[in-house]
Structure 1
Amino acid sequence: MGNAFETCKNCEKSFKQGFSFCPYCGQKANDQLTVSVLFYNTISNYFSVDARFFKSFIPLMFKPGYLASRFVEGKRLLYLHPAQMYLFISVVFFFLFSFISRTQVEKVNNVLSSNEIPVIVHDSLKRQVIDSLKHVETTEYILKNEFSFNERKVDSLIAINAPDEQIYEAMGMEADVGFFRKKLYVQILKFYKQRNGGSLLEAFYDSVPIAMFFLLPIFAFILKLLYFKSIPFSYHLVFSLYFFAFVFMVFSLLVLIDLIWEPHSWINLLVILLITIYFYIAVLQFYRRNKLNSLFKSFIALFSFVLMVVPLAIVFMFMAAFFLY
């Protein structure tokens, strides 16, 4: 007498009755879709990821370099994957930061509509963006350096719906102007008409995650240059993913503090010092070099990234936001 078989509803392969799960794909046999099953699967899958996240959280925060070392050693199921860790924490950070950025966008729009100058004292990145708006005057609109025009004349042309080309001429744009310079005039006029600097600021903030997508591999490449004879690039990338996950976690906590009460400047300095010390210890533990070698290469990596790569990225993000908004 032969054994009875049943067919898996997921992979449609047959197997002997008596199995609780399909031996081919792992789906539960005779799994009837009910509301309880639906929510149980959703919650169990969610918390299975969370369980690994919380198991990884303590080493990430308090054992620099530990997760990266374990991952490259082959222990890749005990802790959250570096890419998952980075993506999860970065999403949390940008979600929390959206509350601050929304407030800043509204503040910029309100300030521009009242012809006042915004004052931001606790965030250097925001200050760099807002500084570009500080040369707006009530009687005459002036963009320092190469661009200046009479506000009343331009307002009169806008009021009569004059063609943009005529307004550009009133702004001082020459007939044989190049493409890039003309694009600047186009964006300046667009900005002037709308008085909506918040959109520019919002576009800048929106470009940060995209910039980080390119900055992280660049950081890993800097480490590769410093340890070019030692390990493959993928190892540096794993290290970088965990390190930036830590950085975003610290920034998330800082944003939470900022949402509750405005922190003093010494907290920002403390955070910078904390990240620097963490990075040095992580390099020391992951790359297994002596303390002096690790200190020197940590300094070179951070110096190259913070003082060379990040400023260029900010400029490109600002230009992208300016031309795309």
Structure 2
Amino acid sequence: IIPLLFKPGFLTKEFLGGRRQRYLEPIRMYVFLSFLCFFIIGIVHKIGTSNEKHSSKLTTHAPVNSSDDLKYKVKWVNLNLSPINPYIKDNATIAGYDSLQSALPSNEKDGIIELQISRMMINYNLARRTQGDDKANENIYKNTLSTIPKVFFILLPLFGLLLKIVFVRRNIYFINHAIFTIHFHCFLFLLFCILYPISTFSPWVSVLQLLLPLVYLYVAMLNVYKQTKIKTFFKFSFLTFTYGFFLLVALLFSIGYSAFTLA
């Protein structure tokens, strides 16, 4: 754990150099840390929920949706429902929307993408009405966080493939890139496990969760692949931009799925 946290690329070099007996295998480490993430997310959410219940008992005249402590967390998932489909204003259920769609001529029906987005928005709007804005947004945030380990697992091969592309002239086996990929994502999980509980008290910690992985990745690439700082920087930039794009798309799908399954 200590080398993983403070020595970027060290475990990868040790593993590829055959000195692997002293360290946990990358796959086992990944599985352990991903489960630890799930556990910490659940614990932090449970503590937050119990604190909310305790606060609500002490506050007798507070309005239902008065708490603002989670607004900075859910700003990026707060959907603007009204301008996309006017039907959503007048119908509260997915069943009603589907009934209307089935009655329309085929050339006037929503397409597949618009259909799914509209259903998601109706479900989210219903959750806001029944649970309140803060509770609905909090549940989206919690559900999205719980899917992050799954999202990273799906994207692991993509990260390894991007490494293979940027170092294509080095004739490095894909398995070597895979080991580097797993160790880097293990660092992401470990960093999340440390900083996420703190971020509930200080939103500025979230900035570290974004910046530290970038610094770590750049230093790890320097240490493992042994190229110049300029070459490494350009490859690092391509890798982070491309992977970041696919990660953003995956997270948006995750947010949409969380909104769709709220009610």
Same-fold status (TM-score > 0.5): yes
- Asked if 1:263 corresponds to 2:192, the answer is no
Q: Which residue in the other structure is 1:90 paired with?
A: 34
Secondary structure of the corresponding residue to residue 168 of structure 2: coil
Q: Quote the offset at 1:192 in angstroms.
A: 4.4
Greater fraction helix: 2
Give ranges in structure 1 of 5+ residues lacking alignment: 1-56, 136-142
Compared CA separation, residues 289 and 63, structure 1 to 2 (3 A): same
Which stretch of structure 1 is more off in the superposition, 65-74 or 85-94? 85-94
Deviations 1:177-230 (A, max 9, x none): 246344555444444445353655554334322211112221111111101232
Q: Which residue in the other structure is 1:286 paired with?
A: 224
- Asked if 1:247 corresponds to 2:188, the answer is yes
Q: Quote the offset at 1:254 in angstroms.
A: 0.8
Kept after mapping to 2: 8 A contact 1:154/1:167:
no
2:76 to 90, 103, 128: 128
Q: Which residue in the other structure is 2:83 paired with?
A: 145
Secondary structure of the corresponding residue to residue 175 of structure 2: helix
* Residue identity matched to 1:255: Y
Deviations 1:111-162 (A, max 9, x none): xx94669663554xx3322x11xx5xxxxxxx222223586x657xx9xxxx
* Higher alpha-carbon Rg: 1
Q: Quote the offset at 1:241 in angstroms.
A: 0.8
Kept after mapping to 2: 8 A contact 1:187/1:322:
yes
- Asked if 1:74 corresponds to 2:12, the answer is no
> What's the RMSD between the two structures over aligned residues?
3.5
* Residue identity matched to 1:128: W
Q: Which residue in the other structure is 1:65 paired with?
A: 9
Deviations 1:46-103 (A, max 9, x none): xxxxxxxxxxx22111211010011112222211111111221222222112234454
Question: TM-score scaled to structure 2, two decimals?
Answer: 0.74
The runs of at least 4 aligned residues of structure 1 exceeding 6 Å deviation read none
Give ranges in structure 2 of 5+ residues lacking alignment: 57-62
* Partner Cα separation in structure 1 for residue 97 and residue 155 of structure 2: 42
Kept after mapping to 1: 8 A contact 2:120/2:256:
no
1:304 to 224, 234, 242: 242
- Asked if 1:225 corresponds to 2:165, the answer is yes
- Asked if 1:272 corresponds to 2:210, the answer is yes
Identical counterparts, % of pairs: 23
* Partner Cα separation in structure 2 for residue 150 and residue 67 of structure 1: 52
Compared CA separation, residues 122 and 286, structure 1 to 2 (3 A): farther
Matches within 5 A, 1:180-199: 180=112, 181-194=114-127, 195-196=130-131, 197=136
- How many residue pairs were aligned? 239
Compared CA separation, residues 173 and 324, structure 1 to 2 (3 A): same
Matches within 5 A, 1:9-48: none
* Partner Cα separation in structure 2 for residue 91 and residue 166 of structure 1: 38
Q: Which residue in the other structure is 2:60 paired with?
A: none
* Partner Cα separation in structure 1 for residue 34 and residue 214 of structure 2: 19
Compared CA separation, residues 150 and 273, structure 1 to 2 (3 A): closer
Kept after mapping to 2: 8 A contact 1:85/1:245:
yes
* Partner Cα separation in structure 2 for residue 202 and residue 273 of structure 1: 22
* Residue identity matched to 2:185: F
Secondary structure of the corresponding residue to residue 83 of structure 2: coil
Compared CA separation, residues 175 and 88, structure 1 to 2 (3 A): same
Question: TM-score scaled to structure 1, two decimals?
Answer: 0.62
* Residue identity matched to 2:70: I
